[in-house]
Amino acid sequence: MHLPSRTRPVVPLVLLSVVLFGRCGLSLVAAERDFRDVAATLLEQFCFDCHGNQEPEARVNLQLLASDPDFATNFKTWRKVNEMLEEGKMPPADVEQPDDVHRAQLVSVIQRRLRQTAEQHAKDPGTVTLRRLTSAEFSYSISDLIGLELNVANDLVGDAVGGEGFANVGTVQFMQDSTLERYLDAAKRVASHAVLGSGPLGFYKDPGQTGFELSAINRIQEIYRKHGFRTAAGEGGEAFGLDRYSRAFYVAWQFRYRNKLGKGDVTIGELAMEAGIDTRFAQYIWSVLNNRSISYPTSDIAERWRKLPPPTTGAPTTKTSNAVRLQCEEIHRVVHDWQIRFGQNADAKEEAPVLAVDSFDVQRSKLFEMNINWPVGTKIAHIQLKVESANGKGKPNAVIIWRDPKIQFRIPDLRLKDPVPLSTMVAARAARQLKFGEHPAGGSIELHDFVTTRTESPTFEIPIVDGATSAQLIVMAELDVQHGDDCIVRCTIAQEEETDQGKQVSALLANPEGAAFSQWKAGVLDFAMLLPQVSHREPAPSDRDPIPAPFDTTYNNPERNDFHYKIKYYRDDQFLVDNILDDATREQLDQAWMDLLGSFEYHDTYLKFVANKLGVDLGGREIAGLDVDWINGLADNPRMYVQRLDRSYRAIQKAFASAEAGHLLDVIQFAHRAWRRPLLGDEERLLRQFYEHLRETEKLGHRRAIRALLTRILLAPEFLYRSERPHDGRDLDFAAQTRAVKLSDWELASRLSYLLWSSLPDEELRRVAAAGELTSPDQLNAQVRRMLRHPKARRFATEFFGQWFGFYQFDRYRGIDSKRFPEFTDGLKIAMHSEAVSFFEHIIRNDRPIGEILFADYAFLNDELAAHYDIELEPASSEHQLVKDVRHHRGGLLSLGAVLTITSAPMRTSPVKRGDWILRRVLGTAVPPPPADAGSIPADDLGADGLTVRARLAAHRRDVSCNTCHSRIDPLGFALEQYDAIGRWRKVYRDGEAIEITEKLTDGTVIKGAEGLRVYLKNQEPLFHRTFCTKLVGYALGRRESISDVMLIDQIMTDIENGGRFSALVERVVASRQFRYRRAGSEGPLEARERNE
The predicted structure's pLDDT at residue 28: 54
Q: pLDDT band for 345, please (50, 70, 90 cuts).
A: very low
Q: For residue 786, what are the CA distances in angstroms to 140, 777, 853?
A: 19, 14, 22
The sheet carrying 740-742 orders its strands as 732-733, 740-742, 1077-1079
Consecutive H or E run containing 32: helix 28-34
pLDDT per residue as tens digits for the range 960-984: 556 667 778 889 999 999 999 999 9
CA neighbours within 13 Å on the CB side: how many for 512? 7
Residue-averaged pLDDT of the chain:
88
Give the C-alpha separation, 416 to 412, whole Å. 9
Give CATH for domain 362-511.
2.60.40
Give pLDDT tens digits for 91-142: 887 788 888 888 888 888 888 888 888 888 888 898 889 999 999 999 999 9
Q: How many CB atoms lie within 10 A of CB 696?
A: 10
**Please, are residues 535 and 573 in contact by the beta-carbon 8 Å criterion?**
yes
Distances from the Cα of 530 to the Cαs of 290, 525, 534, 575, in angstroms?
Answer: 13, 9, 11, 9
Sign for the pseudo-dihedral over CA of 596, 600, 601, 606? negative
Query: Residues 438, 443, 446, 452: is their CA dihedral positive or negative?
Result: negative
Is residue 1010 over pLDDT 60? Answer: yes
Amino acid identity of 600?
F
Query: Band of the pLDDT at 197, cuts 50, 70, 90?
Result: very high
- Mean pLDDT (whole number) for 475-492: 93
Domain ranges of the chain: 13-120, 243-342, 362-511, 907-1020
pLDDT at 352: 40
Q: How many C-alpha atoms does 456 have within 13 Å on its Cβ side?
A: 16
Cβ of 1018: how many Cβ atoms within 10 Å? 12
pLDDT tens per residue across span 408-450: 999 887 677 889 999 999 989 999 999 999 999 999 999 999 9
In this prediction, residue 943 carries a pLDDT of: 63
List of E strands, 870-910: 881-883
Highest mean pLDDT among 86-95, 446-455, 1081-1090: 446-455
Model confidence at 953, pLDDT cuts 50, 70, 90, reads: low
Checking if the pLDDT of 483 tops 80, the result is yes
Over residues 569-585, the mean pLDDT reads 97
Task: Assess whether pLDDT exceeds 60 at residue 7.
Answer: no
User: Among candidates 329, 322, 359, 168, which has minimal Cα distance to 247?
Assistant: 329
Contact 112, 727 (CB under 8 A): no
Mean of the pLDDT values across residues 153-161? Answer: 92
pLDDT at 588: 98
Q: Quick one: pLDDT at residue 728?
A: 54
Please tell me the predicted confidence (pLDDT) of residue 237.
Answer: 61
Nearest 10 degrees: Cα torsion 636, 640, 646, 647: 130
Burial of residue 730 (CB within 10 Å: 0-12, 13-18, 19+) is exposed
Q: Is the pLDDT of residue 186 over 70?
A: yes
What pLDDT shows up at residue 66?
A: 80
Asked whether 824 and 816 are in contact (CB, 8 A), the reply is: yes
Write out the DSSP string of 53-106. SSS-GGG--HHHHHHS--TTTTHHHHHHHHHHHHTT-SS-TTS----HHHHHHH
| Amino acid in the structure at residue 934 | A
pLDDT of 499 reads: 62
Cα separation of 451 and 445, whole Å? Answer: 9
DSSP string, 625-671: G--HHHHHTS-HHHHHHHHHHHHHHHHHHHHHHHHHHHHHHHHHHHH
Three-class DSSP category at 367: strand
Task: Please tell me which of 353-367, 859-873, 956-970 the model is most confident about, judged by mean pLDDT.
Answer: 859-873
Residue 523: half-sphere exposure toward Cβ, Cα within 13 Å = 23
For 1030-1055, what is each residue's pLDDT tens digit? 999 999 999 999 999 999 999 999 99
pTM greater than the 0.75 cutoff = yes
CA separation for the pair 436, 431 (Å, rounded): 7
DSSP letter, residue 791 = G
Q: Dihedral through CA 942, CA 944, CA 950, CA 953, nearest 10?
A: -130
